[in-house]
Amino acid sequence: MAIKITTELLGDHPALSSVDFGKEFSTSWIRGGDGFVGFGIWKSTTVSGANRFADARKWWREQLSNFEIHNNVHGSGTGPILFTSFAFDEDQPSHLVIPEIIVGQKLGKSWITWVGDDPQPAFTNSPEEKSHPTITWSQGSLADDDWQARVANAVTRIKSGELDKVVLARDLVATASSEISVRALIKNLEAKYPSTWVYQVQGLVGATPELLVRLSKSLVTSRILAGTIRMTGNESQDLALAASLAKSSKDLEEHEYAVRSVADALAPYCSSTNVPDSPFVLHLANVMHLATDVTGVVNESAIPVDIFTVISSLHPSAAVCGTPTPTAKRIIDEIEGMNRDRYAGPVGWIDARGDGEIGIALRCGLISADHLTVRLFAGCGIVAGSKPEDELAESQAKLSPMRTALETL
């Protein structure tokens, strides 16, 4: 029997992170007030292994084949949506979630999608969160000195010609005195980092500035970030730092590897691509990045291409792994000293048409099932000119968004 999925316009334009249906606040993807939030879980599964992206496509198509879709809104992101959170490594579980209720908002238009024959669910604004847990911090998989030694090891191997770049990540553990409210955490991230994509899927929460791929009809877009400098909060100093970042040979080298890896991965599927000659400086609340937006037009005459195809070609990019990718991945496995889980994996949403936005799970934390601990992650691109103490400082800056969001609950 077909499962009814209905999408209708909403007269109100709610603040997405404040909407409440009396169900679990299960998924979110918000940027600048627009995006999606999901409530309840209608169906979920996990995939793993070398064919995980193909298996995810198969599972999503199987669900779609059972839906009777009544979409009175139309457009990208309307109708049923699959939320995805893939692990960095293929042998770790990746999560796929279809919420019971989804509220979407874009360019002043709001809509609701729900599963089942019931009338449109009524929403209210969520009450203010009253829990203010005390957060204590502890070392993750490696102490700071040990991690810096591994960065030095990577630099030595790069200088020897073994590879050009490798990304090394580290983790940090937060322990709360009472349960952490995911909704309050999302609100904190959204308020502080409105230009990022604020997400949550199956316990993974974060605010990523990096878009692995957006597919809208035949237009594909990827935002690449590589090269970072910490902001001071002083406007004139930060302008000078932005100028130095734009001229830094070390950061430009790191950025070029990341851009080239994405452009090369997209080329087989696109009739044309646009790769800007130089990056721009992206200003966030705590750091600045070198950034490049690569765009392309999918070649319709080629073999059928969907977003799962593009994800599998792009992940892992040089921005989160290194160059050349196979060598960098081997070195990560040898010296990084931790399991990344879903950190630096593809995270986002895909609709029934195959459109979607998939970010890279950065500036994130993995919340435990009891909501009392969070494992935070940060990574740094290591090239020949890298200095371990500078990379440690950069990683601390990248941990700051989640640290601040947790400490201000």
Residue 17 pLDDT > 90: yes
Token reading at 137: 């911090």
Among the candidates 96, 121, 146, a domain finishes at: 121
Q: How far, in Å, are 46, 52, 168 from residue 91 at the CA level?
A: 11, 9, 19
- 62, 161: one domain: no
Q: Pick the closest to residue 85 from 122, 52, 43 (CA basis).
A: 52
- 307's CB contacts (< 8 A; 6+ apart) are 213, 215, 350, 354, 355, 356, 358
Among the candidates 68, 95, 121, a domain finishes at: 121
- 93, 186: one domain: no
Count CB-CB contacts under 10 A for residue 175: 14
Contact 321, 332 (CB under 8 A): yes
- 331, 203: one domain: yes
- 151, 288: one domain: yes
Is 238 a member of any domain? Answer: yes
Report cis status (omega within 30 of 0) of the bond before 121: no
- 180, 67: one domain: no
Is 351 a member of any domain? Answer: yes
Catalytic residue among 165, 187, 192, 398: 165
Work out the angle at residue 26's Cα, subtended by the Cα atoms of residues 20 and 30, and round it to the nearest 5 degrees.
Answer: 80
- 183, 248: one domain: yes
Residue 303 pLDDT > 70: no
pLDDT tens, residue by residue, 116-159 = 999 999 999 887 766 789 999 999 999 999 999 999 999 999 99
- 178, 257: one domain: yes
Is 178 a member of any domain? Answer: yes
Is 340 a member of any domain? Answer: yes
- 99, 234: one domain: no
Unique residue bearing structure tokens 């609709």: 351
* Burial class of residue 91 (count of CB atoms within 10 Å of its CB; 0-12, 13-18, 19+): exposed
* Burial class of residue 122 (count of CB atoms within 10 Å of its CB; 0-12, 13-18, 19+): exposed
Q: Is 163 helix (H, G, I), strand (E, B) or coil?
A: coil
- 377, 245: one domain: yes
* Predicted local confidence at residue 206, as pLDDT: 98
Token reading at 352: 């029934």
- 381, 266: one domain: yes
Count CB-CB contacts under 10 A for residue 361: 30
Rounded to whole angstroms, how far apart are CA atoms 259 and 151? 22
Is 368 a member of any domain? Answer: yes
| H runs (alpha helix) in 229-378 | 235-247, 249-266, 307-314, 325-335
* Predicted local confidence at residue 131, as pLDDT: 73
Count of domains in the chain?
2
The DSSP code sequence of 237-257 is HHHHHHHHHHH-HHHHHHHHH
Is 60 a member of any domain? Answer: yes
Catalytic residue list contains 210: yes
Catalytic residue among 100, 190, 210, 357: 210
Per the structure, the complete domain to which residue 193 belongs is given by: 135-407
Among the candidates 91, 121, 151, a domain finishes at: 121
Looking up residue 323, the CATH number of its domain turns out to be: 3.60.120.10
Is 314 a member of any domain? Answer: yes
pLDDT tens, residue by residue, 244-294 = 999 999 899 889 988 998 999 999 889 899 999 999 999 988 899 999 999
- 62, 95: one domain: yes
Is 150 a member of any domain? Answer: yes
What would the mean pLDDT of 357-363 be, rounded to a whole number? 97
Residue 304 pLDDT > 80: no
- 47, 116: one domain: yes
* Predicted local confidence at residue 300, as pLDDT: 73
Contact 325, 167 (CB under 8 A): no
